[in-house]
Amino acid sequence: MRGWVTGACAGGLLVAAVLALASAPGAGAAGRASQPLPIQVASLVQNGHQIVWQVEMTQPFSPGALARAHRALCLLLEPPRSDAVTGEVCLAGPAKRSSQPRLLYSKVSGHHSGPQQPLLATVARTSSRELSASFLPSAVGLGYSDLRWQAVSSLRASACAPPAPGGGSCFSAYPSRPALLKLHVPVLSGCVASGPSLVYHGPLKGREIALTFDDGPWSDPPTIDFVHVLAAAHVPATFFEIGRQIPLYDPTGSVERKMLADGDMIGDHSWSHPDVAALSPAGQRAQLLDAVDAIRHATRGFTPCLWRPPYGDISPSLIKLARSLGLVTVMWNVDPRDWALPGVNAIYDDVIANAHPGDIVIQHFGGGPREETLAALPREIATLRRRGYQFVTVAQMLGLKLVYR
């Protein structure tokens, strides 16, 4: 498998990569011969639905030093029983009006890379020498099957010093031979409540936003239409479901299981949508637990850790009861009042005008005709994404532990 890096050097596999590493001792400015920055360690692992790529360099680097450094840092991918690289994921500097590094993906044929496309991913700097990036396998044309990988740090040949006798090249690879990653279809079985028992929004730092939908499943339009729109845009959302409606509108549970398979989260929205805060303690408990049971039955084993009170009505004792049952009470801080059917443009305008980092947006996928909400959704996603927002579930936003089997 040593042909990976050798072939890349000969055929120009990484010429499309656009991550620039900060100048370091010996690297110099553009045009001054140097060597690629060595990779100290790299890893590729599965974490639930996501693939997580972590890289640590031997010295600090900056994804913003793009043009002058002539450097690239890429992840090469290939099928498990092939010597041919089929795709590369490369780090790039932030887009306009954003401070977050990006990933760019291109298909590879032979020794030639195709056009680079922005990859839907979460990229974080853990230190000046480290970087972590996570993305769905489907974003790079993969399923949950085995693959081989190798991280490569490169320096454009015209800026690269001639190899020293006995060592040196225009590439630094980790591991030295491509490694095998065994992927499996993740099955989410639950999440663990932690932190505050009542939340209205997530952390204000960063640019995360959570889309949530209440009052389903439903038939007007079918809930699966919402799931498909979100999946096509690679956007996870949180669906708060009414327990008694699950056997009516999704009797086989296929829609609920599709939600979880796509990376969405399901929350409890009571059994029958009463004012739960006005019920007796026994009635409150029944409303919460009966909905949990309905969700668990439909999904064949998923136990929610989030719940949203109907009408937003809460009391200290209800919040305490929910937490004792393993449920965080989730409110919201952006409400386009789509339930009132104000029109597609009004729903879109309200969400966009009021969106801020850490917001939890409430909309509806049941309880009435929701074609307006569905029609507004693609425009909401496109505009928020252009503004640099990362879409997450409420559980992800709150940093709750997800449990897989």
Structure confidence at residue 83 (pLDDT) = 79
Q: What is the pLDDT of residue 316?
A: 98
Report how far residue 372's alpha carbon sits from residue 377's, in angstroms, rounded to the nearest whole number.
9
Domain boundary among 129, 153, 181: 181
Query: Does one domain contain both 177 and 205?
Result: no
Print the domain residue range for 220.
188-404
The two tokens of residue 10 are 């000969």
Do 159 and 25 fall within a single domain? yes
Residue from 49, 201, 214, 359 carrying the catalytic annotation: 214
Same domain as 335, residue 216: yes
Say whether 111 is catalytic. no
Same domain, 116 and 226: no
Query: In terms of domains, do 397 and 310 share one?
Result: yes
Look at residue 113 in the predicted model and tell me its pLDDT: 85
Mean pLDDT of 21-48: 67
Asked whether residue 17 carries a pLDDT value surpassing 60, the answer given is no
Q: Are residues 221 and 158 in the same domain?
A: no
Is there a single domain that holds both residue 8 and residue 112?
yes
Q: Could you tell me if 314 and 206 lie in one domain?
A: yes
385 and 297 within one domain? yes
Domain boundary among 115, 146, 181: 181
pLDDT at 163: 55
Pairing of β 117-119 and β 112-113? unpaired
Mean pLDDT (the chain) is: 89
Give me the count of residues in the chain: 405
Angstrom distance (rounded) from CA 371 to CA 35: 57
Tell me, what CATH number does 377's domain have?
3.20.20.370
175 with 192, same domain: the answer is no
Residue 325 confidence (pLDDT) above 50? yes
- Residue 336 above 90 pLDDT? yes
pTM for the predicted model, two decimal places: 0.72
Residue 359 and residue 381: Cα distance in Å, rounded? 14
Question: 234, 269, 273, 364: which one is catalytic?
Answer: 364
Give the pLDDT score at 168: 54
Q: In the prediction, which pLDDT does 203 show?
A: 95
> Which residue, 181, 214, 239, sits at the end of a domain?
181
For residues 375-399, give the mean pLDDT.
Answer: 96
Mean pLDDT lowest among 21-30, 89-98, 348-357: 21-30
Q: 76 and 208, same structural domain?
A: no
**Number of domains, the chain:** 2
Average pLDDT over residues 58-76: 82
Please give the full DSSP string across 23-81, using - where no structure is assigned: P-TTT-STTS-B-PPPEEEEEEEEETTEEEEEEEESS---TB--TTT-EEEEEEEE-TT
Q: For residue range 221-273, list pLDDT tens digits in order.
A: 999 999 999 999 999 999 999 999 999 999 999 999 999 999 999 999 999 99
Are residue 168 and residue 236 in the same domain, yes or no? Answer: no
CA distance 129 to 62: 9
Q: Is 214 known to be catalytic?
A: yes
Cα 12 from Cα 111, distance rounded (Å): 7
Percent of the chain with pLDDT over 70: 89
Residue range 163-222, pLDDT digits in tens: 544 445 788 899 999 999 999 988 999 999 999 999 999 999 889 999 999 999 999 999
**Which pLDDT does position 391 carry in this prediction?**
96
